[in-house]
Amino acid sequence: MAVALIVAAGRGERLGSGRPKALVTLAGRPLLEWSVAALRAVPEVTAIVVALPAGELDAAPEGTIAVAGGETRSESVKRALAAAPGGDPVIVHDAARPLAAPELFARGVAEIESGEADAVIAAAPVSDTIKEVVHEDDLTVSATLTRSRLWAVQTPQIFRRAALGRVLAEATAEDLAAATDDAWLIERAGGTVRLLRSDPGNLKITTPHDLRIAELVLAERLEVADGGRS
Ligand code: CTP
Ligand code: MG
């Protein structure tokens, strides 16, 4: 049976709504609650741990386990894992991705249980051409990457519990700060990471523009669920 960790302890500075992003209202409920609802619809998930800003532990949805997050995202993952009851694999998900569907979580769990990988991570093929620039203040292009090989990584990321626990325990504070995702810690340690095919619809809410798009998507979803009755 799986355990889920939702990291929701960020400040949401780029969204700029004056409070933690996970608690900002999206289509009538806090952003965080969309991920909790999706995970509750996955039968394999037996517990949900939520890492929140230290002063906001009361905001944890009923039935979840609240824990104070850390200074960096990976530190929040580490604290959530430490508070998690038994369960393997471990699903790590960003509250900032409220549109992830139960199907995606379930497919990730099935994939890790049937294969040999240490981690299975949601990703979508990139549609933009990606160029590399070495100096941000100069903006001279140094390379054009081969698009057909590039995948934009998302959450959920699903881990064998022992593998995630080990790399988080071994990482220094600098490693944790440098890790923009947890799978990188596994890669670095020589573990196997596989992609789980997802699509760009699993949006990450970073800016007010992203929030508006997610509102539209959810409004459409609710309308479909309602069968156009209202
Ligand atoms: N996160 C966390 N603990 C941190 C930093 C981030 O739990 N110390 C979580 C966020 O709550 C979010 C996810 O990690 O769900 C991805 O982070 P990001 O999108 O950067 O969110 P914020 O850090 O809140 O946003 P910003 O960087 O704009 O302040
Ligand atoms: Mg951040």
Phi, psi of 117 (to 5 degrees): -65, 155
Mean pLDDT on 83-101: 97
**Quick one: 192 exposed, middle or buried, by C-beta within 10 A (0-12, 13-18, 19+)?**
middle
Ligand 1 center to 206 CA (angstroms) = 9
Quick: pLDDT tens for 47-63: 999 999 999 999 999 99
Query: Of 55, 87, 53, which Cα lies nearest the Cα of 73?
Result: 53
pLDDT 10s digits, 180-205? 899 999 999 999 999 999 999 999 99
The tokens 């992609």 sit on which residue?
195
In testing the pocket of ligand 1, which one of 11, 67, 92, 206 has its CB within 8 Å of the most ligand atoms?
A: 11
Amino acid at 197: R
Q: How far is the CA of 140 from the centre of ligand 1 (A)?
A: 30
pLDDT in tens, 109-160: 999 999 999 999 999 999 999 999 999 899 999 999 999 999 999 999 999 9
Task: Say how many C-beta atoms besides its own lie within 10 A of residue 88's C-beta.
Answer: 16
C-alpha of residue 114 to centroid of ligand 1, in Å: 31
| Residue 22 Cα: closest atom of ligand 1 | 11
Q: Ligand 1 in contact with 59 (CB < 6 A)?
A: no
Q: Is 164 in the pocket of ligand 1 (CB under 6 A)?
A: no
pLDDT(230) > 80: no
CA of residue 188 relative to chain centroid, distance: 20
What's the confidence (pLDDT) of residue 223? Answer: 85
Q: Distance, CA 223 to ligand 2 centroid (Å)?
A: 32
Tell me which of 6, 7, 24 to substitute to probe ligand 1's pocket, judged by most ligand atoms within 8 Å of the beta carbon: 7
Closest ligand to the CA of 8: 1
- Model-wide pTM > 0.85: yes
